[in-house]
Structure 1
C-alpha cells in the first residue's frame, strides 16, 4: 500500500517530502534542483518529477541560511512610476536571471529614511549583491552597505569615491551640453524648470548654471524649482507660470521629458508657437517625446545599457572576479528635434 505524502502542519511541501516521493535522500534533492553535475541524469529526472507532482517551491531564504550563499540581489530604486527606472530594471533583471540571480526590488520614494529601512530588511535575507541608485544617502545607510561586505553597484552616476562601483553618466555634463545647445541656437533667457528635486535633477541644474555663468547669462530668477512629483500636468502649469515672467524667457529646459511634454501640450492649447516664441527642451528621451508637436529636443540617456552593464558588473563582483573599471561612463546623446 502506498503511504500518502502529508506535508507538515504549515501545509508547505518540504525538501524531505520530495525526497520521500523520489526515493532519494534530501541532499540529493537539493543537489539535483541546484543543477549540480554530480547527480546522475536519471535521479535529476526523478527529483524533478516528484517536485512537480507535489508543487514544491524551494525556499531561497532557507537555502541561503544553510549554505551561507544567496541567489537574490537587493535592488533599491526611487520610483516605478518613472519610465526611466522601468527601462533600467528590465535589462538589469534579465542580466541577473541569466546568471542565476533574482532581483528583490525595493522602492525608496526618494526618501533617505525609507531607503535605510528597506536596506535593513533586505540585509536580513543575506543578499548576494546590492544595486542602489546614485550616491546621496544617509550616513547610516552608507555604514550598512560598508559593513555588510556585500558587493554593491551604484546606478545613474559615473562618479564614485574610491572603492565604490558605479555605472551611469554625468548628469551635470548632460545638463551643461543641452544648455549650451540652446545658447548656440541664439537663446539668451533660458529658464530651468525642475520637479521632484532629486539629486540627479539638481546635478542637471548645476550643469545649466555652469553653462549660463560661462556665457554671462545666469539669472537666479530663471530657476523654477518645484518639489512635487514630475508629471505632464505639472509641466503644463509650470509652463504657464514661466511664460508670465518678465522680462520674457525665450527657452525652457525642463529637467524631465514628462514636464516638457506637458509644456508642449499647454503651448498648443494656448496658441504659443514653439520654438519661434519659446524653445522647449527636456531630458531622458522618454516614450512619446519624438511624437510631440513639435517633436521634443531632449537628452537620450542610456537606461537599458545602464541596467545591463550594472548587472554584468555586479555578477562579476559576486563571483569574485576583477572588473576592468570600477566606474563605467556610458555617456548620453543630444536628441535635437524641432522644439528647440
Structure 2
C-alpha cells in the first residue's frame, strides 16, 4: 500500500485534515506547521492524489477554457492571461478549442471534470450554457455572450467602439463607405454591426446592402469580401468588424492596387495590427484585462454560487495609425 496523508500526519504530528491544507498553502496554517508537513511528505515520498482531493472537497482544481479556433490570433491573446490568472489562483486550466467540425459537448466529459468553465466563444442558440447549468458547473462568458442567458460575463463595449470607428471615417471626409461584418449569431458581430450602421446613419452617410459583406471572423473572409467590395463599389474607407478580417482586407487592397487610396479600420487591436506591414487603425479593447476579469468572476461564482450575476463592460478606444483622408 502506498504512502497516505495519514502517514504524513503521524510523522508531522498533526491532524490528517491539516496535511492537505498545509500542502496547498491554505491561509490559516502556520508557516512552521506547513514546513513540518512538507518535510514529512518529502521524507515519505508522499504525492497528493488529485482524485482523493476531489472526493474530499468535491472539486477537481480544473477549469475548462472554451475558445474559438486558435488559428484566429485573437484567442491566444485572450487565453494566455486567462491561463496565467488561473494558475496564480491555484487552478489547472484546460484549453478546449471549439470548432464546427469538433464541437465541445459538455454532456460527454464536462461533468466531474471541471470546477467551472470560461466560455470565450458563444453563438446564439448554443446549448452549452444550459448543459453546463444542468450539470451544476459554474461558467462565465468572456468576449462573446448570449444575452438571454443569466450568467456572469466580461465583454467589450462593442457598439461604442464601432460608433467611434464610424465617427473617425466620417471625420476624415469619407462618404463611399463599406464594411465587412461578422456573423449575426455572435454578440460581437451584431453589436459592432449596429453601432457602425447607426453612427453612419446619424451622420447622413448612405449605407446600403451592397455596401457590406458578412462572414466568419477569418482572414480568408476578409480577403474575399474586400475583393468583392472593391470590384463593385471602390470604397474610400472600409470598416472590418475585427482585426483578423481587416488583415485579410489589407492583403486584398494591396492585391487590387487600392491600399494607398482606401482607409481601413479594424477592431480589437491584436498584436499583429500594430506591425509595420499593416499599421492598422483599429478599435482597442484590453484583451488581457478581459481574460483576468473573467477569471475573477468565475472564482467568485465558485466560492459563492448565490451572488448576483455581474456584467462587466470594458471601454474601448481608437488607435490611430494609418489614416487616409478622402
User: TM-score when scaled to structure 2?
Assistant: 0.80
| CA deviation after TM superposition for structure 1 residue 47, in Å | 0.6
- 1: distance between equivalents of 2:18 and 2:42? 11
1:42 aligns with 2:40: no
Whole-Å Cα distance in 2 between the matches of residues 69 and 288 of structure 1? Answer: 39
Cα displacement (A) at 1:326: 0.8
1:339–1:264: structure 2 CA closer, same or farther, 3 Å change rule?
farther
Q: SS of 1:282's equivalent?
A: strand
- Shift in alpha-carbon separation, 1:143–1:268, aligned structure 2, 3 A: closer
Whether 2:251 is the aligned partner of 1:261: answer no
C-alpha change, 1:61 and 1:194, in structure 2 (3 Å) is farther
* Secondary structure in 1 matching 2:315: coil
Identify the match of residue 225 of structure 1 among 208, 214, 222. Answer: 214
| Partner of residue 236, structure 2 | 250
Match of 1:309 in 2: 293
Instruction: Tell me the alpha carbon deviations over residues 59-101 of structure 1, each in whole angstroms, 9 at most, x when there is no partner.
Output: 4344213431231212211222222221222212222222211
- For 2:145 and 2:128, the matched residues in 1 are separated by 20
Q: Structure 2 CA distance, aligned partners of 1:220 and 1:241?
A: 13
- Per-residue CA deviations over 1:142-183 (Å, capped at 9, x if unaligned) read 322333333322101588558421112122332232123212
Q: State yes or no: 1:337 paired with 2:321.
A: yes
For structure 2, list consecutive stretches of 5 or more residues without a partner in the other structure. none
My pick for the range that moved more, 143-152 or 308-317, is 143-152
Q: CA deviation at 1:306?
A: 0.5
Q: 1:110 to 1:210 in 2, by over 3 A?
A: farther
What does residue 171 of structure 1 align with? 158
After superposition, the Cα gap between the structure-2 partners of 1:325 and 1:268, relative to the gap in structure 1 and judged at 3 Å, is same
Q: Secondary structure at the match of 1:46?
A: helix
- CA drift of 1:312 comes to 1.6
Are the counterparts in 2 of residues 158 and 327 from structure 1 also a CA contact under 8 Å?
A: no
Structure 1 window deviating more from structure 2 (214-223 vs 25-34): it is 25-34
- Residues in 1 aligned to 2:266 and 2:78: alpha-carbon distance in whole angstroms: 19
Distance 1:137 1:70, change over 3 A: farther
**SS of aligned partner of 1:106:** strand
After superposition, residues 280-291 of structure 1 pair within 5 angstroms as 280-291=264-275
Matched pairs, number:
315
Comparing 251-260 and 36-45, the one that deviates more: 36-45
User: Which of residues 71, 92, 98 is equivalent to 2:88?
Assistant: 98
